[in-house]
């Protein structure tokens, strides 16, 4: 049997990632505008390509959004994308869905809101892939306790990609145990860089996820030298997504 073409994960800014092969394209947290200097964003030319299509990449069939913060989400751009791509769907929090609905009330049938009262995984099947969506508490709950942050597991031909937005290890609430992450056999983990700065973080990663590929995101343009060295020291094989268009090719059997 011939080996499959590799899956590509391309960085679009902050925690934005475009996942695609020759048949499927999915965008996570990829449509947002300039917000603050600490957050890299897709410039208008890239946003235009994501909305209108790129040569050599299938049309994006699914938008995933972890939460409605402006460094992850823009409702007008999301509505524009869905209007331009009439067969595409959106999965996100009720907070994000409500904002898109306010931007365009004609899109309701393609907006999927994930309940936030428990940690149950909701699974959705699409042509060529499936997605699990679930609650993942936002980092810094004192400030962000009202924010509905989601995690996603995308399964493409048996290869599983995890994205958890702005979450954290949260030992006190045993978050990764609540979502039964140990049972998922994750191949690629896309995590915010602050989850990768200590030896304790390494223990948590090995206990709950143990991915073959590790991608650090949400990296500020002025990442300190100390933090960069800490990540490389503790996770020498980590990929730091810092440049727009940076791509990881994930080999498949």
> What is the pLDDT averaged over residues 214-233?
96
Confidence of residue 3 (pLDDT cuts 50, 70, 90): low
The percent of residues in the chain predicted with pLDDT above 90, rounded, is 91
Query: Which residue in 93, 73, 87 sits closest to 31, CA to CA?
Result: 73
* Separation of alpha carbons 15 and 194, rounded Å: 13
* Separation of alpha carbons 211 and 186, rounded Å: 5
What are the Cα distances from residue 252, in Å, to 9, 21, 126, 182, 233?
Answer: 13, 11, 20, 22, 28
Q: Please check the confidence at residue 162 and state whether its pLDDT lies above 70.
A: yes
pLDDT greater at residue 5 or residue 125:
125
The Cβ of residue 157 has, within 10 Å, a number of other Cβ atoms equal to 13
Helices within 59-156 (DSSP H only): 75-84, 94-103, 141-144
Confidence of residue 252 (pLDDT cuts 50, 70, 90): confident
> What is the pLDDT averaged over residues 99-106?
86
* Separation of alpha carbons 5 and 252, rounded Å: 7
Confidence of residue 1 (pLDDT cuts 50, 70, 90): very low
Q: Please check the confidence at residue 214 and state whether its pLDDT lies above 70.
A: yes
Number of H helices, E strands in the chain: 7, 14
- Backbone φ, ψ for residue 194 (5° rounding): -70, -10
Place of tokens 């440049």: 243
Helix H or strand E segment including 233: helix 225-234
Q: What is the mean pLDDT of the chain?
A: 95
Residue 2: per-residue pLDDT: 52
* Separation of alpha carbons 190 and 170, rounded Å: 17
- Per-residue pLDDT tens for 105-148? 789 899 999 999 999 999 999 999 999 999 999 999 999 999 99
> b/e per residue, 211-235, with b = 16+ CB within 10 A?
bebbbbbbbeeeeeeebeebbeebb
> What is the pLDDT averaged over residues 76-93?
96
């Amino acid at each position: 049997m011939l080996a499959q073409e590799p899956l590509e994960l391309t960085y679009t800014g902050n925690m934005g990632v475009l996942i695609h092969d020759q048949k499927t394209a999915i965008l996570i947290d990829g449509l947002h505008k300039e917000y603050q200097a600490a957050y890299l964003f897709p410039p208008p030319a890239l946003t235009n390509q994501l909305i209108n299509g790129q040569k050599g990449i299938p049309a994006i069939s699914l938008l995933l959004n972890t939460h409605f913060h402006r460094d992850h989400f823009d409702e007008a751009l999301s509505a524009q994308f869905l209007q331009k791509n009439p067969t595409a769907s959106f999965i996100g929090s009720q907070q994000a869905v409500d904002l898109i609905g306010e931007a365009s009330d004609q899109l309701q049938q393609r907006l999927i809101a994930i309940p936030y009262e428990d940690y149950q995984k909701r699974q959705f099947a699409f042509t060529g892939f499936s997605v699990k969506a679930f609650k993942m508490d936002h980092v810094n709950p004192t400030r962000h306790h009202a924010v509905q942050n989601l995690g996603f597991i995308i399964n493409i031909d048996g290869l599983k990609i995890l994205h958890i937005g702005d979450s954290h290890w949260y030992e006190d609430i045993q978050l990764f145990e609540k979502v039964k992450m140990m049972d998922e056999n994750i191949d690629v983990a896309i995590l915010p860089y602050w989850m990768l700065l200590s030896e304790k973080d390494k223990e948590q990663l090995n206990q709950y996820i143990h991915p073959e590929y590790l991608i650090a995101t949400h990296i500020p343009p002025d990442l300190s030298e100390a933090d960069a060295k800490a990540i490389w020291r503790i996770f020498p094989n980590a990929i730091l997504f810092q440049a727009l268009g940076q791509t990881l090719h994930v080999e498949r059997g």
